Amino acid sequence: MTPHDASCGCAGTPARPTVAFASDHGAVELRQVLIDHLQGQGYPVIDLGTEPGQSVDYPDVAEQLVKTLRKGTATIGVLLCGTGIGISIALNRHADMRGALVHDAYGARMARAHNNANVLVLGGRTTGPEVAKECLDIFLATPFEGGRHARRVEKLGAPSGTP
């Protein structure tokens, strides 16, 4: 059986989402592993960099991904830095972004199922490539459950100080 993607034009086949990747210098190698992994599965990807040897500031990297998601060029993002901590803090300053720093399959599943995360955040120095690929696959395959979780997620986008 041939894998399908958004470009095949097959009726009834769900299109794979476009996934945008961005990392600082602390996760260049892991970012490339994950891009290759998804491209091998037929996913369309956008690589926002960083190039090997290029030192950048993680808030700028997060901002670049935010702009890409807001334009609608991609619907899912993957952000990486050395630990994933700094870049997730930078991303989550934006009310319409729900980035989840994930370390295992369970966290990846819950990030989507309960929190409707639209950005997977990983640490290039804290997460091995096999675990990262597993987290990414689960993140992409898991739908948001809605229900009681929808009410909670809606509150995440509310102005600070509102119930």
118 is in an annotated binding site: no
84 is in an annotated binding site: yes
| Candidates 10, 114, 135, 149; catalytic one | 114
9 is in an annotated binding site: no
Tell me how far apart the alpha carbons of residues 134 and 55 are, in angstroms, rounded to a whole number. 28
Q: H helices of 13-160, where?
A: 28-40, 58-71, 85-91, 105-113, 129-141, 148-156
Burial of 27 (0-12, 13-18, 19+ CB in 10 A): buried
24 is in an annotated binding site: yes
Burial of 112 (0-12, 13-18, 19+ CB in 10 A): buried
68 is in an annotated binding site: no
Question: Which helix (H) or strand (E) is 10 found in, with range?
Answer: none
Give Cβ neighbours of residue 151 (< 8 Å, ≥ 6 apart): none
93 is in an annotated binding site: no
109 is in an annotated binding site: no
49 is in an annotated binding site: no
116 is in an annotated binding site: no
What 8-state DSSP symbol labels residue 5? -
| Candidates 8, 81, 103, 135; catalytic one | 81
Q: Is 81 considered catalytic here?
A: yes
Residues annotated in the binding site for D-ribulose 5-phosphate, as ranges? 24-25, 82-86, 115, 125, 148, 152
| Binding site feature residues | 24-25, 82-86, 115, 125, 148, 152
Catalytic residues: 81, 114
